[in-house]
Amino acid sequence: MNVLVLNCGSSSVKFQLIATDLDLIAKNADRKLARGMIERIGGEAIITFRAEGRPPQRFASAVRDHRAAVDQILRWSCSTEANIDAIRSVADIHAVGHRVVHGGERFTRSLLITDEVLRGIEDCIDLAPLHNPANIRGIMAAREILGPGVPQVAVFDTAFHQTLPEHAYLYAIPYQLYRRHRIRRYGFHGTSHRYVAYRYRTLRGIAREQTDIITLHLGNGCSATAIKRGQSVDTSMGLTPLEGLVMGTRSGDIDPAIVDFLAAKEGLTTQEVEMLLNKQSGLLGISGLTNDMRELLDEAREHDDRRARLAIEIFCYRARKYIGAYLAAMGGADAVVFTGGIGENSPDVRARICAGLEWMGLELDQEQNLAHTNGREGLISRDGARLAAYVIPTDEELLIARDTVRCVLAAEEH
* CA–CA gap between residue 153 and residue 97 (Å, rounded): 5
Q: Which amino acid is at 407?
A: C
Q: Is the dihedral of CA 323, 324, 327, 333 positive or negative?
A: positive
Q: Does 3 bind ligand AMP (CB under 6 A)?
A: no
List the catalytic residue out of 23, 92, 126, 157.
Answer: 157
Beta carbon nearer to ligand AMP, 113 or 399 = 399
Nearest approach in angstroms of CB 272 to ligand AMP is 25
Nearest approach in angstroms of CB 339 to ligand AMP is 8
Nearest approach in angstroms of CB 246 to ligand AMP is 11
Q: How many residues bind ligand AMP (CB under 6 A)?
A: 12
Pick from 90, 65, 95: which is nearest to 76 by CA? 90
- Sheet hosting strand 111-112, strand order edge to edge: 57-62, 44-51, 31-39, 12-19, 2-8, 95-100, 152-156, 111-112
* CA–CA gap between residue 199 and residue 214 (Å, rounded): 13
Q: Does 2 bind ligand AMP (CB under 6 A)?
A: no
Beta carbon nearer to ligand AMP, 243 or 396 = 396
**Pick from 97, 104, 219, 244: which binds ligand AMP (CB under 6 A)?**
219
Is 292 among the catalytic positions?
no
Nearest approach in angstroms of CB 294 to ligand AMP is 4
Q: Which amino acid is at 276?
A: L
Residue count of the chain: 414
**Pick from 97, 248, 252, 393: which binds ligand AMP (CB under 6 A)?**
248
Beta carbon nearer to ligand AMP, 143 or 294 = 294
Q: Does 241 bind ligand AMP (CB under 6 A)?
A: no
* CA–CA gap between residue 285 and residue 111 (Å, rounded): 39
Q: Give the bridge partners for 232, in sequence order.
A: 227
Q: Does 190 bind ligand AMP (CB under 6 A)?
A: no
The interaxial angle of helices 306-330 and 293-303, nearest 10 deg, is 130
Write the binding mask 97 to 126 for ligand AMP: x where contact by CB under 6 A, - elsewhere. Answer: ------------------------------
Q: Regarding beta strands 335-339 and 231-235, do their DSSP bridges make them parallel or antiparallel, or are they unpaired? A: unpaired
* CA–CA gap between residue 198 and residue 210 (Å, rounded): 11
Q: Does 370 bind ligand AMP (CB under 6 A)?
A: no
Chain residues 279-308 in contact with ligand AMP, contact rule CB under 6 A = 292-294, 297
Beta carbon nearer to ligand AMP, 151 or 340 = 340
Q: Does 244 bind ligand AMP (CB under 6 A)?
A: no
Chain residues 332-361 in contact with ligand AMP, contact rule CB under 6 A = 340-342, 345-346
From residue 171, give the alpha-carbon distance in Å to each of 113, 239, 328, 361.
31, 10, 19, 32
Nearest approach in angstroms of CB 349 to ligand AMP is 6
Specify whether the CB–CB gap between 349 and 316 falls below 8 A.
yes
> Residues in the site for ligand AMP, rule: CB under 6 A?
219-220, 248, 292-294, 297, 340-342, 345-346
Q: Which residues are annotated as catalytic? A: 157
